[in-house]
């Protein structure tokens, strides 16, 4: 009996791994239904890790000085609902509040002994 292939889907970075080979979305095909565009299917392509890392490093180097962390946080926070802004504000006023970065879907965990909040920066 032949061994079954195992497919690993990693939603946090939108990759699929088949027998240790990583695939990333190359393009999407869309279909309009009642005037609304929906993704019909995603086309994946095998990832060359070295080439991928080189491209990511190049992009980071070119863009890192164009946006400050302050500007990114400002854009994220201004889209939060008022109750969440109030909750985060009150948490941050407490000197014992701890802030931890969450990788994957990039975000910040803000918590003290009694309360906690989460700000999602990117999905």
Are 97 and 91 spatial neighbours (Cβ–Cβ below 8 Å)?
yes
List the chain domain ranges.
7-63, 69-120
Global pTM reads 0.52
- Nearest one of 17, 71, 91, 44 to 9, comparing CA atoms: 17
Q: What pLDDT, on the 0 to 100 scale, is given for residue 64?
A: 81
Q: What pLDDT, on the 0 to 100 scale, is given for residue 101?
A: 82
pLDDT per residue, tens digit, the chain (123 aa), is 677 888 898 887 778 988 888 888 888 888 888 888 888 888 899 988 888 889 889 988 888 888 788 888 888 888 888 988 898 898 888 888 888 887 766 778 888 888 888 887 766
Reduced to 3 states (helix: H, G, I; strand: E, B; else coil), residue 16 is strand
């Amino acid at each position: 009996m032949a061994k079954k292939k195992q497919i690993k889907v990693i939603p946090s970075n939108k990759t699929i791994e088949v027998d240790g080979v990583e695939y990333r979305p190359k393009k999407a095909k869309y279909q309009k239904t009642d005037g609304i565009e929906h993704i019909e299917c995603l086309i994946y392509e095998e990832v060359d890790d070295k080439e991928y890392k080189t491209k990511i490093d190049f992009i980071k180097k070119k863009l890192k000085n164009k946006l400050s962390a302050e500007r990114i946080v400002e854009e994220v926070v201004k889209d939060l609902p008022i109750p969440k802004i109030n909750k985060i504000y009150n948490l941050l006023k407490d000197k014992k509040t701890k802030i931890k970065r969450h990788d994957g879907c990039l975000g910040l965990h803000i918590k003290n002994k009694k309360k906690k909040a989460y700000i999602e920066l990117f999905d």
